Amino acid sequence: MELARDAVDNLEKLGPTFIKLGQIMSIRPDVLPPPVMRELAKLQDKISPFSTEEARAIIEADLGEKIDNIFSEFSEKPIAAASLAQVWKTLSMRIIA
């Protein structure tokens, strides 16, 4: 069981591709025993979010503009986190001329 917990921790550290692999394995009773599958199932809905600062930097780099110039409001914490994305609450996207 401890090995399965370590695997979940390591898959999460390795990023989205490995998290997806763990999620796939969590529903394969033909490959893994039930205790390991239960541990891997944590990758389905218990992914730790990355920092808001990191997210803001990624968004600003991708959009080429400061978030404050794009959104009138951007939440300080994500409202959801998954293996491939995080979700922030924003209000009224501003038009950039």
Give domain limits for the chain.
Answer: 2-45, 52-93
pTM of the entire predicted model: 0.55
The CA-to-CA distance between both ends of the chain, in Å, stands at: 56
Between the CA of residue 43 and those of 5, 8, 28, 46, 90, what are the distances in Å? 11, 7, 14, 6, 26
pLDDT at 97: 53
Most confident of 25-29, 44-48, 53-57, 90-94: 25-29
Q: Please, which residues have CB within 8 angstroms of residue 90's CB and are 6 or more apart in sequence? A: 71, 73, 74, 75
pLDDT of the residue at 93: 57
- 84, pLDDT greater than 90: no
pLDDT category of residue 73 using cuts at 50, 70 and 90? confident
